[in-house]
């Protein structure tokens, strides 16, 4: 079945959508995006995703009406038969008449598609620890993901399905997720900074941890902290909360049956998927 997509407000089969090669998304990766999940036809934390999209648009100085984005995302969901899944939605600076680093005033270009997805029964992750080779504004959800793409595919070539990045030994995040780990019955996560994406799922999990009054710290952590961790988790819109079974290039003491992970996972499913 062809994918349903939206281009500048018009919903159509993805095969019928034609994009200009002069699009700044195509030439410069001059665009930002969101991935928003829905369950039983209802968006999960829709307004928080829109706020983050607004942040990405502001920081990149792309002018676009967030109301238009909202209308188009809702329309995609309403016109689709899918009950559970996610919408990928991106906004580029637009289509230029010449290729130039200096951008012209142009209308933004909006594109999204809808995917069916089942959020349950995902397998634990096998992870490779890698150098974080990305730019210095990872708080912006930019489509410029070459750093993540290259490192994730190196990891895939040795049988991994995620990476865990560090900058000079300081832990940042996963290739497409945020990280948490447990040490001495306390849950830790790297604090927000320009080096990580402020994940919506990260935020949801922190709310759960605080509601449950579990021991928790946000700060700056190093590879050595992972060596002592009893459990490591990744969070994202499509993964939810997912445990790590192995870091292939680091000796750890991970135990996949972690009580704190189970508490958070159960609360997460109850709050967002029931």
Nearer Cβ to ligand PLP (5/44)? 44
Candidate residues 130, 176, 241, 242; the one interacting with ligand PLP per rule CB under 6 A? 176
Residues 230-249 touching ligand PLP, rule: CB under 6 A, are: 235-237
Nearer Cβ to ligand PLP (200/267)? 200
Q: Which residues pair with 145 in a beta bridge?
A: none
Interface with ligand PLP includes 151 (CB under 6 A)? no
Q: List the x/- string, 7-36, binding to ligand PLP by CB under 6 A.
A: ----------------------------x-
Number of residues that bind ligand PLP (CB under 6 A): 13
Kindly tell me the burial class for residue 44, based on how many C-beta atoms sit within 10 Å of its own C-beta (0-12, 13-18, 19 or more): buried
Candidate residues 112, 190, 199, 243; the one interacting with ligand PLP per rule CB under 6 A? 199
Q: List the x/- string, 70-89, binding to ligand PLP by CB under 6 A.
A: --------------------
Enter the tokens of residue 251.
């000796």
Helix axes 46-60, 200-211, angle to 10 degrees: 130
List phi, psi (to 5°) of 249: -115, 30
Nearer Cβ to ligand PLP (80/178)? 178
- Measured CA to CA, the distance from residue 108 to residue 31 in angstroms comes to 9
Strands 186-190 and 216-219: parallel
CB of 35 to ligand PLP, least distance (A): 6
Q: What order of strands is seen across the sheet that includes strand 109-116? A: 10-13, 4-7, 109-116, 85-92, 31-39, 42-43
User: Site residues (CB under 6 A) for ligand PLP?
Assistant: 35, 173, 176-178, 197, 199-202, 235-237
């Amino acid at each position: 079945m062809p994918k349903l997509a939206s281009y500048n407000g018009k919903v159509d089969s993805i095969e019928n959508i034609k994009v200009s090669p002069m699009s700044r998304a195509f030439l410069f990766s001059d665009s930002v995006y969101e991935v928003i999940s829905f369950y039983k036809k209802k968006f999960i934390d829709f307004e928080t995703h829109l706020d983050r999209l607004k942040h990405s648009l502001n920081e990149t100085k792309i002018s676009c009406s967030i109301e238009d984005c909202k209308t188009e995302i809702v329309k995609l969901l309403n016109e689709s038969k899918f009950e559970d899944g996610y919408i990928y939605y991106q906004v580029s600076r637009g289509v230029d008449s010449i290729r130039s680093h200096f951008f012209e005033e142009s209308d933004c270009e909006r594109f999204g598609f809808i995917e069916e997805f089942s959020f349950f029964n995902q397998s634990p992750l096998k992870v490779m620890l890698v150098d974080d080779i990305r730019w210095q504004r990872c708080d912006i959800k930019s489509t410029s993901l070459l750093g993540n793409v290259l490192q994730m595919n190196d990891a895939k070539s040795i049988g991994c399905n995620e990476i865990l990045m560090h900058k000079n030994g300081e832990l940042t995040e996963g290739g497409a997720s945020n990280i948490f780990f447990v040490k001495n019955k306390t849950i830790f996560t790297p604090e927000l900074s320009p080096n990580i994406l402020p994940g919506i799922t990260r935020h949801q999990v922190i709310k759960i941890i605080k509601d449950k009054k579990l021991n928790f710290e946000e700060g700056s952590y190093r590879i050595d902290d992972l060596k002592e961790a009893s459990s490591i988790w990744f969070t994202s819109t499509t993964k939810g909360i997912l445990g790590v079974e192995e870091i292939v290039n680091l000796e750890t003491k991970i135990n996949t049956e972690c009580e704190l992970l189970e508490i958070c996972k159960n609360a997460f499913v109850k709050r967002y998927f029931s």
